[in-house]
């Protein structure tokens, strides 16, 4: 019903980078994405993680809401900057991607 792809950044082991969060249309609105993210953070492999990063386009309201809610639950600060610019990186063919960073947080 859901899938998350991500990885720990080798040079920054305290960071879990979430590449993609997917939830079946039949399971949306039930908190599955939030529960999957929390399960990742609770996993033994992430016990040293104190920051989460992801990229989000400006118009992706569902992703903004998901990750802001997680930051609130973790009582962690957030920071957002443009990582890949529409013009400079995508030749105008794709919306800019914002790097959204949560942390530090403790587990």
List the CATH number of the domain containing 45. 3.40.630.30
**Tally of domains within the chain:** 1
| Residue 76 included in any domain | yes
**Positions of the chain with pLDDT lower than 70, given as ranges:** 84-94, 107
20-48 burial: b if 16+ Cβ within 10 Å, else e: ebebeeeeeeeeebbebbeebeeeeebee
Q: What is the pTM of this model?
A: 0.87
Q: Supply the range of the domain harboring residue 82.
A: 2-102
- What pLDDT is attached to residue 100? 97
Q: Name 80's Cβ contacts closer than 8 Å, sequence gap at least 6.
A: 98, 99, 100, 101
| Residue 107 included in any domain | no
- What pLDDT is attached to residue 25? 86
| Residue 81 included in any domain | yes
- What pLDDT is attached to residue 96? 76
């Amino acid at each position: 019903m859901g899938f998350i792809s991500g990885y720990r950044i080798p040079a920054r082991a305290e960071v879990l980078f979430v590449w993609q969060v997917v939830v079946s249309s039949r399971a949306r609105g039930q908190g599955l994405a939030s529960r999957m993210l929390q399960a990742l953070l609770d996993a033994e492999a992430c016990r040293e993680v104190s920051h989460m990063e992801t990229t989000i386009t400006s118009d992706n309201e569902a992703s903004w809401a998901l990750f802001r809610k997680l930051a609130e639950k973790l009582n962690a600060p957030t920071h957002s900057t443009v990582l890949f610019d529409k013009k400079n990186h995508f030749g105008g063919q794709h919306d800019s991607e914002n790097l959204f960073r949560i942390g530090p947080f403790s587990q």
